[in-house]
Amino acid sequence: MFLTCEGTFGIVPATMDYNGEARPGDFHAGYQEIEGINLGYLQINGTQMFALAQVLSDLFKDIPRTTISKKMEPLKIKTRRCDLKELRTLKAINSVPTRAVKCSLISKADLEALCTSCKSLSPRR
């Protein structure tokens, strides 16, 4: 069950070109409650992306990471490595530890598919 209790944390200032339009790659950060857990996200090019580390530690804390990885393969879930600017923003909203040097992102659509697939694995909240 996905709740749409969404709030924007802050907007990362857009880099403007000479025409006054935001360039691709700009994003903003916020929080969304999923399965009763408040997760930070980055809105990148119109897609909500969540830090995989936070998803694994907060949302799937009772399920071994290897089990989650095995579930991701048949679902064809791909992750994307975030860049330095995105990593710093995720640290600022406490979605990844401040000591993190890299982070993978998962889209909201893929996260929904993974949650549905893992329903039978975790105890009911």
pTM of the full structure: 0.76
Which stretches within the chain are classed as H helix? 52-54, 65-72, 84-92, 108-118
The tens-digit pLDDT sequence of the chain (125 residues) is: 343 344 444 444 443 333 434 455 578 999 999 989 999 999 999 999 999 999 999 999 989 999 999 999 999 999 999 999 999 999 999 999 999 999 999 999 999 999 999 887 755 54
Q: Where are the domains of the chain?
A: 28-118
CATH architecture of 28-118: Roll (3.10)
Closest CA to 27 of 9, 41, 10, 44: 44
Please tell me the distance from the alpha carbon of residue 121 to that of residue 123, in angstroms, as a whole number. 7
Both tokens assigned to 27 = 């994003």
Phi, psi of 105 (to 5 degrees): -115, 145
pLDDT at residue number 25: 56
